[in-house]
Amino acid sequence: MPFLNWIKTHKLILLLLLIIAYLYLKNNIVGYYRGAPASVGIAEPQLSLPIPKGLETFSDTTDRIVTKTSDISLLVKDVRSTGEQIISYAKGNGGFMVFASYNRPTESPFATITVRVPTNKLDEALAFIRSLSIKVTSENLVGTDVTEEYIDIEGRLATLKKTQARFEEILDKAVSVQDILTVQRELISLQDQIDLLIGQKESIENNAKLTKITVYLSTDELALPYAPDKAFRPNVVFKLAVRSLLSSLRSGAEAIIWIGVYSVIWVPIVFGFIAYKKLRKKE
C-alpha cells in the first residue's frame, strides 16, 4: 500500500512527528490539570518539573532573589558637582552610570542621576549620597522578589535542552536531505528560545547583584519630586508667590505678542467697522 511504503521510506520524519505529538499532548494534559490552557508547540512546554539542582535553597526566605531599586531627592549647594561625585563613587565601587541629565530652568538648576551599585554595598552608597546633601527631602527603597520567575526560567531551560538533545540524536541518524533539514529547523528554533531564556536569566542575576539608584538633585527644594510638608515657611511662600507673579507676567507678555502678530487681521477689521459706522451717521 502507498501509505505503508511512505512509512518505510520516511521513518525518521514519522519518529519526529510522534515526538512532537507526544510533547504537545503531554503539555496540554498538564495545562488542563493546572487549570490553565497550555501553550502550543514543543519549544516552551509548561511541564511540571522538579526544582533544578542548586536552586532548592530558594525555598528558604533567607536565600530569595530580590531586585532592588531606590530613588532619593537631595537639596544640594552645587548640582553639577554633586552629580559628578555620585557617578564617580558608583564607578569606583564596582558600579556604573546609567543616565545623567542636567537642566537649568529659569527657577533653579536640576539634575537626574541614575547609577547602579553592587547590592552588597547599597547601604554604604546611600549613606555617601546622603552625605552630599544639605537635606534629604525624600527617599524610597523597593525590593521585588523574582525567585519564582528565576526558577521557572531554569525549568523551561531544562526542558528545552532535553528536547534539543533528542533532536540532535535524531539528526545523527538522519540520512535524507529532507529529514536533515526538518530536524535542523527545529534545532534552530529551540536554540533561539534557549538563548532568549539565558538572556532573561542573566538579566535577573545582574539586576539582583546591582541595585539601581535614581538621585534627584536641585538647589531649590520645591523643584524636587516630593510633596513638601504643611509647616508654615515664609521663605517657601515667598518663592511660590514670586513664581506665580513671574508666571502671570509671562502669560501676559505672551498674550500681547499674540495680539500683535494677529493685528494684520483685526486692525483692518476694526478700522473698517469704524469707517462703516461713520458712513451710516452721515446718511
Identify residue 262 by its one-letter amino acid code.
Y
- Domain boundaries in the chain? 1-48, 66-228, 234-282
Q: What is the pLDDT of residue 30?
A: 43
Predicted pLDDT of residue 256: 86
Residue of 60, 59, 43 lying closest to 51 (CA atoms): 59
pLDDT of 136-186, one tens digit each?
Answer: 988 999 999 999 999 999 999 999 999 999 989 888 888 888 888 988 999
Query: Does residue 45 surpass a pLDDT of 60?
Result: no
186 closest CA partner among 42, 40, 24, 38: 42
Lowest mean pLDDT among 4-8, 50-54, 81-85, 97-101: 50-54
As a whole number, mean pLDDT of residues 47-51 equals: 40
The residue with greater pLDDT, 157 or 264, is 157
Cα atoms in the 13 Å half-sphere on the side-chain side of 283: 6
Regarding pTM above 0.95, the answer is no
Confidence band of 245 (pLDDT split at 50, 70, 90) = confident
CA 65 – CA 197 distance, rounded (Å): 17
- Name the least confident of 20-34, 62-76, 89-103: 20-34
